[in-house]
Amino acid sequence: MNPKVDYDVVVIGAGAAGLFAATESAQRGAKTLLLEKNRKAGIKILASGGTRCNVTSTLPIKELATWFGTKGGRFLRYGLHEFGPEDVRALLDHEGVATATYPLEKVFPKSGRADDVLQAFLSRFQRSGAELAIEEAVLDVDKVDSHFLLHTAKREIASQRIVVTVGGSSFPKTGTTGDGYPWLRKFGHKIVNPKPALVPLIVKAPWVRDLTGIAVEDVVVAAAGDHGKPLFSRRRPLLFTHRGLSGPGPMDISGHLDGA
């Protein structure tokens, strides 16, 4: 085991949030370490938007927040006002990555390359002076006196503060395997039971599967609750698949359905 190393801040998980958090921490003078269990940082960035990386939206903040439901939207609205879609585009532009708008309120890098977005985040990170340790998974986190003690396969790391940016459990191939939930429970945080969202819908009705491969470009997709009470609707493209419904419309409403 390597000797214990002390940091002001340790950020766990080098995705977009982790890279941003570690960069901000180091820029403000904190001795900062960013830990990543994968072989490289930003794997989910590279996979997003079909490898094109849909970085933000053109929607006004108030409307954008509603896409995350009542509770989620209320929570996110404060953050979006502090650093909104235009701030994201300005940051990328400053790093030499021009962006462009596309249908359905989407914003992508003009190059169509997710790697350009990742390199922009990495450039900011490297200039900040923060340290990056890859292929170093955090196994557990404890609180010892006024410090946090992080246990990895290589060492124990003491830090005044930790920032957990490991993601949820949505995409195990990229490393989001729910690692952070037990650590956060240990420190008294309430974990809302995660459920799939922004996913295709499984539909058992045979007629839906009979239409596999047919796409409808302009259709209203709606979800209804008890007694037919409307919950959510979106006017978006829809694709019939061998398992049910996919495309922007069904995926937008998936988070509003129990068992989606």
pLDDT tens-place values along the chain, 260 residues long: 444 569 999 999 999 999 999 999 999 999 999 999 999 999 999 999 989 999 999 999 998 988 777 777 888 899 999 999 999 999 999 999 999 999 989 999 999 999 999 999 999 999 999 999 999 999 999 999 889 999 998 999 999 999 999 999 888 888 899 999 999 999 999 998 888 888 899 999 999 999 999 999 999 998 887 777 877 888 999 999 999 999 999 998 888 786 54
- The two three-digit tokens of residue 229, written as one number: 């009470």
Q: CB burial class (10 A; 0-12, 13-18, 19+) of residue 108?
A: buried
pLDDT value, residue 258: 66
pLDDT at 68: 78
So what's the pLDDT on residue 4?
59
* pLDDT attached to residue 260: 40
Sheet with 230-240, edge to edge strand ranges: 201-202, 244-246, 230-240, 215-224
Backbone dihedral angles phi then psi of residue 109, each to the nearest 5 degrees: -65, 140
Predicted model pTM: 0.88
What span, in angstroms and rounded, lies between the C-alpha atoms of 132 and 36? 8
